[in-house]
Amino acid sequence: MSVLPLVLWPDPRLAETCAPVTEITTAIETLAADMLDTMYAAPGRGLAGPQVGAMLRIFVMDAGWKEGAPDPLVCINPMLQEIGEERVTREEGCLSIPGVTAQISRPSQVQMVWTGLNGGRYVQSFSGFAAACVQHEIDHLDGIVTFDHLDADTRADLVATFEKATA
């Protein structure tokens, strides 16, 4: 397959809501494989369609591959079904905002429903880092980036850091 070029912030596509995938075609299967290749090469733990210019509700993730064997997941038209009340703050990075990490508060547990490449519907609960990864990637599908979770002062500081890193 192929490693795709990453879309970097402030590209306006990262602020757009993605369209649902209406049919699982060969093109969608190829896109998913290319997204996994791109994610592993980056090296990241998740990658959403708009981060490679595909404005579709699809993301790939592998929350634990850096600590163990690869276990890739392709999520088409994902939706959060249940969101836990407990929150946790952890450092998050983003392949579309290289060189910047931010402390982001999110629910510590979520349940997601999605369609797999085989057309089957899946429901799974995620906790810990995997829960943060799922939420981060769904944010991308809704046009939300890490910076959008921050207060104005923190955002300004991190945007300046990003601009220096990419200048």
For the stretch 89-104, pLDDT in tens is 999 999 999 999 999 9
For the stretch 110-157, pLDDT in tens is 999 999 999 999 999 999 999 999 999 999 999 999 999 999 999 999
Q: Whole-model pTM?
A: 0.95
DSSP letter string, 7-35: P-TT-GGGGSPPBPP-S--HHHHHHHHHH
- The catalytic site residues sit at 137
* Mean pLDDT value across residues 33-51: 97
Query: Rounded to the nearest 5°, which phi and psi values hold at 108?
Result: -80, -15
How many residues appear in the chain? 167
Task: Enumerate domains of the chain plus CATH numbers.
Answer: 12-166 (3.90.45.10)
For tokens 């880092």, name the residue. Answer: 129
